[in-house]
Structure 1
Amino acid sequence: MNAASLPARGTLSIGEVLAQLRVDFPDVTISKIRFLEDQGLVQPDRTPSGYRKFSGSDVARLKYVLSQQRDHYLPLRVIKDQLEAIDRGHGHGPVLTNAVPRAAHPAIVDNAPTPEHFRSSAAAMRLSREELLNTAGLRPAQLSELEQYGLISQRAGGYYDDDALAIARVVAEMARFGIEGRHLRGFKSAADREVGLFGQVAGPMAKQRSGEGRARAEETVRELAALSVRLHAALVQIGLREIVG
């Protein structure tokens, strides 16, 4: 990649750029693109009303940044230096001497949920208490305990939905190892704290009158949710090494 080989300027919205990038980088989000812009790695034009207009050159730069992060684990500071060298006409930029070697075995976080897994969708199921128990494989006493600790709750119409079933199934699997609902109160408390924290970050965006503000808030909470799961997975993985070696 060099400055002369970058495509001519065009006009792409951030959504169109996202669609192009996801062909090679399925985990990329609008929040990620905005973050790279904030870090000075790409500088799209703006319309008089403030909307971003990306050129082909901008898309090429984003692909370069994402590939350097994914394939060489380079920090953004190093990638920015490379791009500045490219802009000055210095070929492909610095040699990748700061690249971090790939791990011998993929970490658990590599298979963690992406922001797309946290996209909101309307609950479709309406299960009675008996249907939930039978579908998830829970005993009545187990379900009562989960309700007592706030892990599962009925909807206003007195039924259980997809979310309740998902939690019930996981708890039923954990119960095979002797883990009970009372052991899981910490999970609920931790999740509530994370939701509160993410709400502080995304809340001001959601209050903006523009549709873009709400869209950015939704994208932000999805990305934060995915990152929190990755962090949790990494911490658990590290802790388990002390147990099983």
Structure 2
Amino acid sequence: MPDAGYLTIGKVVKRLQGQYPDLSISKVRYLEDEGLLNPSRTPSGYRLYSQKDVHRLETILYLQKNRFMPLSVIKQQLDGGEGHVSLVQTPCPNVGEDDEEVLQKFHPIDRMPELLGVPVSFVRQLSEAGVIQLRESPHGRSLVDGKDFQLIRTCGELRHFGIGPKNLRQYVTAANRESAMFEQALVVFAKKGGGVEMERTEENRQQFGQALSEMLALTGQVRDTLIRRQISKTFSEMEE
């Protein structure tokens, strides 16, 4: 098969990363494993993507990012429409991140595949790991807080890299431990503002929220740097 007009998986990722920064080779392979992509292969087994394959991938990424569609629905629409989906008229069964009415409610756990595109079992595993907390309805149904939707989506994305709910337990432990540090820092921040017992006004809440956001961003940079340093050291030792 001639290679003209075909791209390797690395070149496909590089081409689309400008629009989808989180795109990676492992995610493209995951989409292939889920049956959404079927690139050609060379006799030696290397994947080759045609322009049609790239367009299909762009459509998948668009529907995931902007319409919050689960992969099962995307696959059904792409296959049913012979690879074409209208990006203008296609209705989205998922909840948008800015849909406050929905995010302020609790939803039956059995609707998570429809709303978030993740299995019910995955949501239960997140609950067991302490990442989210389920609430029980008067009729005994497990309910998911709409405020946790984005967190669940993020955890779902981590599955592409082999990071599951059990791996996330350490972040729950860390959050519980580090929250005391941030609470103390906010007390210091309040003292600088004129006293710990500050009047609970909207302006004060916004100031505290901004301070917390800045602290999280700064400590996140420290954490990222330390992890990158350790991983770089580990791989350097492996090469040696």
**Comparing both chains, which one has the higher relative contact order based on Cα–Cα distances under 8 Å and sequence gaps of 6 or more?**
1
TM-score, structure 1 as length reference: 0.42
TM-score, structure 2 as length reference: 0.43
